[in-house]
Amino acid sequence: MELIKLSQLIDNTHIFDIFEITQNTGFKNFSNVEIKDINSCKNYLYWLIKNSDYYGIKLNGKIIGIVGYHSVNYIAYILNDKYQKQGYLSKVFPIFLDYGFQICNEILASIIKENEKSIHFIQKFGFELFKETPERYIYKKSR
Ligand SMILES: CC(C)(COP(=O)(O)OP(=O)(O)OC[C@H]1O[C@@H](n2cnc3c(N)ncnc32)[C@H](O)[C@@H]1OP(=O)(O)O)[C@@H](O)C(=O)NCCC(=O)NCCS
């Protein structure tokens, strides 16, 4: 498995892998944007690249997920439905946390309250509830 900067994934066949991820039901927990076709997927990726630090997770030639930081120290992650519950994200996540802690002392995750899978996932990595809004929990991990 390897992490590849999103900017390297737009202009080749990997855009189709990323489009597939955006069609998963869980994508709305990752982003509020609705992606209808490859072109809107590309435009969305250009926006992500400009505004955040995101990477594709590559397994056997296919992009199976996305992980990255936005708003400086907020971590976000998504796996293609077909590759969930197999430990793939758990494998790359510690490396990605180490990378974040080189830049900042605290990493945050903003999670919709109903997103039990993501809450389970982030707690597994030692994140603790830090604050909440009416719709979201904010989890935090310190260096
Ligand atoms: C949140 C999300 C990324 C979690 O994905 P996931 O597949 O559960 O995460 P992993 O790949 O690390 O899988 C871990 C699970 O795989 C299972 N597993 C199977 N084989 C395994 C192996 N060899 N090694 C480790 N885990 C394995 C375990 O049951 C483990 O679950 P556990 O933590 O209860 O023990 C995923 O549900 C998702 O993409 N959701 C939609 C987007 C989203 O909500 N993003 C977060 C926004 S805040």
pLDDT, tens digit (0-9, with 9 covering 90-100), for 2-25 = 999 998 888 778 999 999 999 998
State the pLDDT at residue 13: 84
In CATH, which of 3.40.50.720, 3.40.1190.20, 3.40.630.30, 3.30.1540.20 is domain 2-142?
Answer: 3.40.630.30
The Cα 55–Cα 130 span in angstroms is 26
Q: What is the DSSP letter of 73?
A: T
The tokens of 86 are what?
Answer: 């197999």
The Cα 80–Cα 62 span in angstroms is 11
For 107, the 3-state DSSP assignment is: strand
The tokens of 100 are what?
Answer: 């974040």
Would you say the CB of residue 89 lies under 6 angstroms from ligand 1?
A: yes
Would you say the CB of residue 143 lies under 6 angstroms from ligand 1?
A: no
pTM: 0.93
